[in-house]
Each structure stands twice: as structure tokens, then as C-alpha cells.
Amino acid sequence: MMESQDLIGALVRLGFSEYEAKAYIGLLRENPITGYQLAKLSGVPRSMVYEVLSKLVARGAAMTLRKQGSVLYAPVAASELLGQLQREHEGLVTSLQDRLASLNSVSDLDYVWNIEGHENIMAKAEEMIGRAGERVYLSLLPEIFPSLQTMLAQAIGRGVRVVVYSTRKLDLPGGRMVVTPSPGEAQEQVEGLWLILAIDGQEVLIGEMLTDNRARASWTGSPLFVFVTEHHMRTDPYLPQILSLLGDQALQVIREEDRELFARALESHVHG
């Protein structure tokens, strides 16, 4: 029964009414049958079953057969119906692309837009990587990498420069992998941050996990915001090495009021 409800829900999302979905599933299970028999089998009210069947026939989901004075009904094969629906939806999407694009007003990309939910954030990240034409800079936790690995590989295949920063080495053939501080240190520095993505110097997406385990991200095309984010990802990994080379001279280079910002690195490389 649960399986039937899932199938009904899926057909409804494809544009069937609930009764049409129930009737079509009933026809798949037993055919050819009369409208009366289908009403008993599917749960569609007898008063509505013939109207529902007429709609299924009209949309190409069912067929009729006259036999010994009765009208019998049978379903169009599921593979044929789904192929038809797929072609219809693809055609509709194609026709809408240009029509809706012509209605779209130019957004102010300097705004910062919020995206809620882990799946929605990952979908946005995939879409951005899929559009990248020149370069991708991505900083993320290791457990997030598998979800984006395929899109990153495809970007590398298109000739896009891909640089990934994470807390351990990841499998990225053709791309550049930069290992950043350990998870503990990173978590203390930026609580809840798990993804930073910048593409082509034009867009940036920053994802964070809130205290109630909700995922939220900010996206923007602001040139200044993108520049600062990309600059941060490209330069920060070098800081520990630079301080290590400076040794005690680091204290002379870094002003006293700024030393708190470098406290951890100074502690490790100057006094270590």
C-alpha cells in the first residue's frame, strides 16, 4: 500500500490528478477491465471513474476496446507513457527557457542571497561548478568532497583550473590539492563553516552549519565580495610557511595590535 502511495504521489507530480493516478495504476495491475471493475479495484468513486478514464484516454495514458457491447479499458505501457511525458516536459522546458528569460529583469548582483538546506546548497554548488569556464577555488570539509567530485572532474575535463583546499589530501586528478589546517584548528577559527566556493572571479557561495543543525549559505556576485573571498582562499595557506621562514622576525614584522590575529601561528612557528 505504501508503494502505491509513492507511485500515486510521483504521478501527481507529473501532472496527474490523484484519481487519474489511482486509475492508471489500477489499469496496470489488471486489464482490460470495465470502468465499474476499475472503480472497485482502484478506489476511484464510481460516479467519477468514467470521467477519469476519459481524461486518461485523452492524455494518451489509456486505451479503449469495445467487446460484446461493453467498453473495456487498458493502460498504455508505462515505458511508452513515461517516454511521452519526458518528451513533453523537455519540450515545455525548452520553450519556456527563452520566453521566461525575456521576462527576467536584471538582478542587482551586489546583493547577498541566502539559501537554506544542505541539498539546496549542494545543488547550487554543482550548478556553479558546472558553469565555470576559467577557474574554480573550493574550500571544504573532506566529507563534502565526494558529492562534488564528479562535477569537479568534469570541470577539469573542460580545461577549467580547479584548486581544492581541505584538511586532508583528496583524490583530484588534473586539479590542484592544497592541505589546510587540521579540522580542530579550522573549526575554532570559523565555527560552522564547511564550504567556500568561488568561480571565474564572478560568484561566491559560502555555506555554514547553524547551531540547530540547519545548513545555510550566502551567494553573491558582488565583485568586491568575490575578490576578498578568492584572495582569502589563495593566500591563507601560505601564512604558516611564511611565519615559519620568518621565525623570531615575525614579531618585528607584525604590529602588536595585530598579533592576536596571528596568535596560533605565532605560537607554533615563533615560539615552537
So what's the pLDDT on residue 209? 81
Sheet with 176-179, side-by-side order of all strands: 112-116, 215-220, 203-209, 193-199, 135-140, 161-166, 176-179
Set of cell numbers at residue 239: 601564512
Determine the Cα angle at 55 with ends 44 and 80, to 5°.
100
pLDDT band at 242 (very low <50, low <70, confident <90, very high): confident
Task: Classify each residue of 80-119 as buried b or exposed e, where b means 16 or more C-beta atoms within 10 Å of its C-beta.
Answer: ebeeebeeeeeeeeeeeeeeeeeeeeeeebeeeeebeebe
So what's the pLDDT on residue 176? 93
Distance from C-alpha of 270 to C-alpha of 263, rounded to nearest angstrom: 10
By three-state DSSP, how is residue 53 classified? helix
Set of cell numbers at residue 20: 487519474
CB count within 10 Å of CB 22 equals 24
Question: Which residue is listed with cell 566529507?
Answer: 143
pLDDT band at 253 (very low <50, low <70, confident <90, very high): confident
More confident call, 227 vs 211? 227
| Residue range 27-72, pLDDT digits in tens | 999 999 999 999 999 999 999 999 999 999 999 999 998 888 889 9
The sign one gets for the Cα dihedral 19, 22, 28, 30 is: negative
**Domains defined along the chain, listed by start:** 2-79 (1.10.10.10), 112-236 (3.30.870.10)
CB count within 10 Å of CB 206 equals 21
Set of cell numbers at residue 182: 587540521
What φ, ψ does residue 200 adopt, rounded to 5°? 55, 15
Asked whether the whole model's pTM tops 0.95, one would answer: no
DSSP 179-231: E-S-HHHHHHHSTTEEEEEEETTTEEEEEEE-TTS-EEEEEE--HHHHHHHHH
pLDDT exceeds 90 at position 237: no
Set of cell numbers at residue 207: 555555506
